[in-house]
Amino acid sequence: MRRESGDVADETSQTKRARQKQRRAIKREAERRADARARRRRLSVLALAGVVVAGAVGAAVANAARQRAEVAAREQAVAARLDDLGCTDVEQMPVGSTAHFSGAELVANPPEVAYPDRPAAGGRMASGVAEPGVYDELVDERLLVHNLEHGFVTVYHAESAPKDDVEALRALADEQVDRFPKLVVAPWAGELPSDARFAILSWGKRQLCRDYDRDVVLSYVEQNHGGRSGAPESGMGATGGSDNPVRPDGEGPFVLPPLAGGDGTPANDGGEDPEGR
C-alpha cells in the first residue's frame, strides 16, 4: 500500500518531536547529574571545613585544658617547696589611699616615708608608670606602685641575690613577655624584709623568697597578672605612653624627688599621659 504524503509528513513530524523530547530528556539528565556532582562537592567542602573547625576547636580546648593542668600542677609543686626555698605564702598587704603625689609631695614623701611596709603593694603613688620589661637600674618604688594599680606584677631582686639567679629571673621575664606583658623585673636597693633576696608583688599582695625558683615566680604571675590581680585599673594599657622616659632601654636610675628641681617638680615623673595611662 502506498502511503499518502500527509501520512509521511505526520510520521516525520512525530519522529522529530520524539528526538527533540529525547534530547531534552538527555539534557535534563545531564544537568541533574551536574547539579548532583556540584552538591556533593559543596557537601564535601563543608564537611572538610567542619572537620578543620572541629579540629581547631578541639585543639584549642585541649590546649586550654593542658595549660590549666600545668598551672594546677605548678601551684601544687610550689606549695610543697615554699619552706625549702625560704618563701612566704602570698601575703595580703595594706593598700590605703590611691591618690597621686604632687611634685612637692614627692619631695616630702620618699618611699621610706610613704610606705610603712616595703616593698609596697599599694598606696599613694607617682603620677607616671614604668614601661614593662627588665631593668638594669633602680626604678622608683612610687612609680612601680602605680604599675601595680594597673595590674602589673613586679619582681625585685636584692643586691645580695646570686648573679646566676638574677640572670635566670631576667631570662624568664624575657621569655614570658608575650604571655604576660604587664611584668617588671628591677633591682632593689639594700635589703629586703625577712632576709629575702626576691620579692614578687601585685596590687595588695606580696611574696618574699630567699631563693629564686622559676615555678614560684611563674605561678605567682599566672595567678595575679592583669585582670586576675584585682587591681582597680587593671584594664589600663601596659605602657605609659609614647613619651614615657621610664623604660628598660632608657637612662636610669629612675629615682624621683627628693632628687628634684628647686621648685619641687620631679626631674623624671614617668611621663604619664593626661588620661592616666
Give tens-digit pLDDT for 99-150.
999 888 998 999 999 999 999 999 999 988 999 999 999 999 999 999 999 9
Nearest to 209 by CA among 87, 121, 120: 87
* Per-residue pLDDT, 269: 44
Cell of 196: 629575702
Structure confidence by residue, pLDDT tens digits, 240-250: 554 555 878 77
* Per-residue pLDDT, 81: 92
Q: Give domain limits for the chain.
A: 1-85, 91-229
* Per-residue pLDDT, 274: 36
Q: Name the pTM for this structure.
A: 0.70
91-92 β-sheet, strand order: 91-92, 205-209, 198-202, 153-158, 183-188, 133-134
* Per-residue pLDDT, 44: 83
User: What is the C-alpha end-to-end distance of the chain, expressed in Å?
Assistant: 109
Residue, of 72 and 212, whose pLDDT is higher: 212
Residues 6+ apart with CB under 8 A from 109: 101, 124, 142
Residue, of 251 and 196, whose pLDDT is higher: 196
Looking at the chain, the whole-number percentage of residues with pLDDT higher than 70 is 82
Class of residue 216 by CB neighbours under 10 A (exposed 0-12, middle 13-18, buried 19+) = buried
pLDDT at 14 over 60: yes
* Per-residue pLDDT, 257: 63
Provide the pLDDT confidence category of residue 9 given band limits of 50, 70 and 90. low
Distance (Å, whole) CA 98 – CA 150: 12
* Per-residue pLDDT, 4: 60
Mean pLDDT of the chain: 84
pLDDT at 94 over 70: yes
pLDDT at 227 over 60: yes
Architecture of domain 91-229: 3-Layer(aba) Sandwich (3.40)
Distance (Å, whole) CA 264 – CA 108: 9
Out of 16-25, 133-142, 193-202, least confident range: 16-25
Determine the residue type at 268. N
Q: Helices (DSSP H) in 176-207: which residue ranges? A: none
Residues 6+ apart with CB under 8 A from 24: none
Provide the pLDDT confidence category of residue 179 given band limits of 50, 70 and 90. very high
Distance (Å, whole) CA 215 – CA 198: 14
Q: Is 211 helix (H, G, I), strand (E, B) or coil?
A: coil
